[in-house]
Structures are given as C-alpha cells and as structure tokens.
Chain A
Amino acid sequence: MTQFLDYVLGGIGSGAIIALMALALVLTWRATRVVNFAQVGQAMFTTFIALSIQTLTGSWFIALIGAIVAGAILGVIVQYLVLRPVKRMDTSGAIIATFGVLIALQAAAGMIWGGDSQAYPQPFSNTAISLFGREWPLSVYDLVVIGFAGVLVVGLTLLFTRTSLGLSMRATAFNPEVARLSGVRVGRTLTIGWALAGVVGAVAGVLVAPTSAISPNSFDILLVFAFTAAVIGGLDSLIGAVALGIGTGLILSVVSGYSDSSNAPVVALVLLALNLAIKPEGIFGHNSARSV
C-alpha cells in the first residue's frame, strides 16, 4: 500500500507537466477550434532556445523567461501565418497544416541543435526528500514543477474570470459571431489565445527537459499523453485539462512503477480509446466528438 502511494505521489510532478501541455492544447482549441498538433514541436523549439540561453548566461531563470517570450512569439507566428488563412477551409486542412508545422519545427531544431539527445541542466535538487524519518518519492524539483503549474493555472483562471480580456476570450470561444457584434476584436483575441498556449507549452517544455533530456522529437510522447488528458477532460475545459493531466500522470506513474515505463504509451492509448468509445465528449466537456 505504501508502495502504491509512493507511485501515486511520484506521478504528481510528471502529471503537472502533462497538465500544462494539455492546458496549452485546450487554449488553442477554445480559441480557434483547432487541435494544435504542433504544440509540442513549439515547446521543443522554445526549450532548445532556453538551453542555448542557459549555456550562454548560465541562468536557469533567464532561460525560462527566454522560452516564455519565444513561446508567445512562436504561437502568434503559427496562428497568424498558418491557421488564420486555413480557417475557412476543411478541418482536414487545418489538422494537416499543424502536422506540417510539427515536421518543419522538428527538422529546423535538428538543423540548428542536432538530432542527438542533450541533457538540460537540473536547477534544483532532484533527489528524494527525506522527511519524518522516511524518503518521499518527491524531489525539490517536483515541488518546483508543481508550484509553476499551480501558479499558471491560478493565473489563467484569474485572467479568464477577472479581466476584460478573459471575458472577450470566453465570449469568442462561446460564439465568435456574437462576440464580434458585441465589439470584441475577435482576430486579436484568437491570436492572444495562441500566444498564451505557446507560453504555457514553453514553460512545460523547460520544466520537463531536465528530467528527460531534449531532442527534436523527444516530446512526441508528451503530445500523446497531453492529448489523452485534454480529450478525456473535455477538450474545452481548463479544469478538465488540469485534473486529467495530473490524473494521467498518476496513472502512468503507477503503471510504470508496477510494470515498466515503456508500457506508458500503450496505457495512454488504451485510456484514450476507451474514452472515445464510451464518452467521447469527455468528462468536463460539451464538444461533440462524433459526427452522424
């Protein structure tokens, strides 16, 4: 039982990262009804930028700021140059375009930084905390990750509920036409949504890199986990993405603990398939995932 609890606790850190990436997917979905499959590609790219800054300045924090700025810019570029023109067309086109961006970003990263895995410096202690006479399956770094995730989630919640920008974003997500008629600058609001998603993804990338190293496609698997969490959470629910992201992290941690970490993708796939077969609109969502 203690072992089980240890595995559960050990999953909170990775769960927080999955939650952030799922949150980024939900933000773009809410803004433009597009699942941005390039999101992890953007996060990978900004994390490489952060690594370069870190190597240059030696500061983890400056690197994080750099990643955040780059994430916002990249989000705006992708939305403005790619998704905005494609919006009028079929959904197939939008989906394919995001995969095109993913392929291009991974190749560009490979060109600039090489295809091999590179270690990302670990800014905080990554050893298990000893407290109350036992070792806990959490490190200081895990707590930092959880802290960042918490701050971002609270910040986003405040943004959406307490600011006029948040109101515009919710109105646009609910009904772009009505929002436009009410004086919301819809195009700008959508772009801000993508920038926010880019920021959240960038933070997730920098946070996950020290635990897994970084290469052009090392985040592919994170995309599967995050998509699973976002879809089960309902795809348009921020709370759903966070809850299911952490939940996915816990489940995968338990599975990895009792069997082997290479089971994780298969387990995520099974969770996703079960969800889509039984309750495709997700737990917190109102989307219709099914056609006729």
Chain B
Amino acid sequence: MRDLMRLPGARLIQHALLAFAAWAVLMWVNGSVDELTNYYLALIAMYATAMFGMVILVGLSGQVSLGSGALMAIGGYIFALTTLNWQYIPLTSIPMNGVWAMLFAAIGGVVFGLVIGLLGARLTGPYLAGLTLGIAVGIPAIANRFPGLFGGETGLQLTVPYPDGGYPAVAEASGEQFVTELPTSQDALPSAGASAGAGDLLTSDNFPSGDASALPSVAPGDLLTADNFPSADPSAMASVAPGDLLTVDSFPSAGATPEASSLDVSVLDPSTGTGTDGVDLGFVLERWEASLAIAVACIVGFIALNLVRGRQGRVWRAVRDDPVAAAVSGISPAGSKVTAFMVSSVFASLAGAVFVQILAYVGPGAFGLGLSLSLLVGIVLGGRSSLVGAVIGAVLLVWLPEFVLGLAGDRGWDEQVTNNAPNLIYGLLVVLVVLVAPGGIVGTLQALVGRIFKRTARSG
C-alpha cells in the first residue's frame, strides 16, 4: 500500500478524491438542510478557506501573522469593485462574471502577499506580528480614505453574481440580507443569521430590475427612497412618506406598479425556496452561497493538501525548525517564507471574495482586527499545523457563538454577557492551548492516539 502511494500521480489522485468526496458530502448536506444551517455552512467553508492559508503561514512556516483579515479585505474589495464597475474585462470583449472576479481577487492576493512577504519574511517573530497588526488595522482604514471608490465607512452594497439561468435578483431583498448585522471589529461573526427578509432595505442594486435604466436617478448601491423610486404613479406610494426608505414591506405591490409587474418578479418564500406564486424556483440564496463557499474551500483545500503533504510542506517545516540548517541544505529561508505568505494570501483573498458574497456587502467594518484575531484563534484551537485542525477551528468559530446564544437563551443571560462570552472563551482557550496543548485539538488527539498505539504495541 505504501509503495503504491509512491507511484507518480498517486498523491494527485488521492488528494483529488479526498477533495471531491468532501465536496460531494458537503453538497449533499447543502441540499438537505435549511437555509440557516446553509448560512453557517457557508461561513464555515469561508473561514476554513482562509485558515488553510493560516496553517501554512503560521503553523508550517512559523510566522505569526495578523494580516489575513486585511488580505481578505483586499480579495473582497477586488471582487466587489470588479463586479460592480466592469461589464467587460477591460481591453477585451469578455463579459465579466463571478468566476473572473474571483480570479482577479486571487491575483490581487498574489501581488499583496508578495509585497507583505518580501517585507516580512526576514523579520523575526514579534516584529512580524507587529507589522501585520499594523496591516490589519491600516488596510481597512484605507477604505475610509477613498469613499468614492471604496464606499467609505459604509462600504459597498453588492449584488451577488449568480450563474446563468437568471436567478432573480429579488432573492436578495426577500431573503436574508445581513447589512443590518454588520460584524463589528469586536465580534467578527455576523451573529443573527436568521434575521428575516421582511423589512430589509431596497437598494438600486437589489431592486428587482434587470435593467439599470429603470432607475435613472440613482447610483449603484444607493438606497431607494420614495423620492427616487422611478414610479410613474405616486398614488402607489400611498403608504410611504416622501424620503422614506423603501423596504420589502412598503414596496408597492406588483399589481399597483406597472414597472414591477412587467419585470416578472417572483418573491421568494425564504422557508421553502418556492416563489409566492407557487412556482418552484429551485433557488435559495443561502444554498447558493454555501455551495459557492464549499466549492472554493474544496479547491483551496486540494491545493493546500498538495502543498502540505508534499515537498513544499517539508521545506516550510524545515525553515521553521532551523533556518540556518535549512540554508546550508540549499533552501532559501526568506524565499520559502515569502512563498508561504503568497500562498496564504491567495487563500485569504479567495475567502474574502466569498465573504463579501455571503454578506452581499463589502466594508471596512467586516475586515477589522477582530477578523484577523478570529482566524488566529481558529487555527490555534484546531491545531496550528493541521489542515483538519483548520476545519475544526472554522466549525468552532461559527458554532461557539451560536452555542453560547442558545445557552444564554436558556439561562436568561444579559445581552452584554452573551455577546462577549464567545470571545472571552476564545481568549482563555487560546492561552490554555498554548500553555498545555500547543498542538491544539488535532495535535492533542494525535498524541493520545499515538500513546494508545504504543501501549498496545508494547503489551502485544
């Protein structure tokens, strides 16, 4: 069996099968759970994507970096800006779509990873951590500086680009939209995933019109109000005062507005995925987001497996263990560290591009220091140098806040306590793990299994 694994291409086949099996199982889950669970699934897959990179950077190459949140921001903004501003890829006649935008995000990750890596690869521990801390705080701040381009503090709304076949964009308005539940830097997790669609704000982007010309007076991303809403019939707006924000509730019903009815809109019922007109649209926003996040996580996981369980993983560990010995063995320590930075920032950028699609929004608040710290917490708890650990860490990051929320509901805790309990637990657990189980959950389990095996081997 071991000899079989040494055949050329065996690793490729094994890793591809693993990734495909994971994808198939997750897609089955994706199709059989409700949309709240799908939303969590999307978040877990997104975190895991970024944390695969952290395992390589922090675990294998031994560079404690807090820059991953900032690199996610870079991927997210590139995705948002290219999809919002480009109809076609510049200088070509290729129409833009989500896949191209993800590709651009990845390229952005390579470039920024290279820059940060060249700056950071020669630095020792605390200096690198401090530099990346500055990056985590500084890069989101840049978004505030250029409100015209980046949307400033409020960020940019974004229509998730759906695949061909024309998923109606109204799904976003009637389904969950998390703009109101923005993650603060304190708590990077958008906590109340279940916030209902009713009452959500309409913007010119999620307005149910495929045709931008229907909204001549508003810029992309603008909130729709009773004033700028392009209705010929003011009486249809009976229930709203001028200047009021339009919501799904106050939006004049399809019958009353000719424009709306001509758009052939089906308002989705978020609980079943069927339109209110009874037609099964087969589309739930969360399912789409989760399937996207899963696909990206599996592709990234496949690449990470290849690297970690191949020569490159050995090289990274060698440089981490002893840079001088690595150098005399013919490895450039700085070069291998830069490589780790590049790989991890590509992963982080892709995760960021997925993140903004889950949020349908991109803004500096989503990518603060808290996000970077969360990612670090995740891999430390899961197991710093293990890809499985990254997945476990990602599950922990999403599950623990929900668990605490459930606990708080049962015990009637103060909101102030409930909101902060997950981070308090994370912080204490991180300290505990560093002190007593540096290998995290996976490392500890491996050690336990190893001990049991040794014991049975001795007694047998």
Contact = CB atoms under 8 A, between A and B. Distances in A.
Interface size class of B (residues with CB under 8 A): 35 or more
Contacts of A107: 420-424, 426-427
Interface string B41-81: 00000000000000000100010101000000000000000
A262 B434 contact: no
Contacts of A292: 323-324, 327, 333-334
Main secondary structure, interface of A, reads: helix
A276 B137 contact: no
B130 interface: yes
Contact of B141 (A110, A266, A273): A266
Nearest to B142: A266
Nearest to B438: A93
A289 B186 contact: no
A269 B184 CA distance: 22
Interface stretch (A98-106, A143-151, A200-208): A98-106
B370 to A, nearest CB: 8
Main secondary structure of the interface of B (DSSP, over half): helix
Interface string B134-155: 1101100110110000000000
A107 B130 CA distance: 21
Nearest to B384: A92
User: Which of B124, B370, B420, B421 has its CB near the most chain A CB atoms (within 10 A)?
Assistant: B420
Contacts of B438: 89-90, 93
Interface string B422-435: 11101111110011
A91 interface: yes
A98 to B, nearest CB: 9
B178 to A, nearest CB: 19
A23 B373 CA distance: 24
Contacts of A223: 133
Interface in A102-134: 102-108, 110-111, 114-115
Interface string A216-245: 110011011001100100000000000000
A228 B373 contact: no
A260 interface: yes
Contact of B123 (A92, A95, A280): A280
A265 B141 contact: yes
Given A268-B138, A280-B127, 8 more contacts: A86-B434, A91-B125, A92-B125, A96-B430, A100-B429, A107-B421, A224-B133, A289-B127
Interface of B: 58, 62, 64, 66, 119-120, 122-127, 129-131, 133-135, 137-138, 141-142, 144-145, 184-186, 323-324, 327, 333-334, 369-370, 373, 376-377, 380, 384, 416-417, 419-424, 426-431, 434-435, 438
8 contacts: A90-B62, A95-B64, A101-B431, A103-B430, A231-B130, A265-B137, A268-B138, A288-B124
Interface of A: 29, 34-35, 37, 82, 85-86, 89-97, 99-108, 110-111, 114-115, 216-217, 220-221, 223-224, 227-228, 231, 260, 262-263, 265-266, 268-269, 272-273, 276-277, 280, 288-292
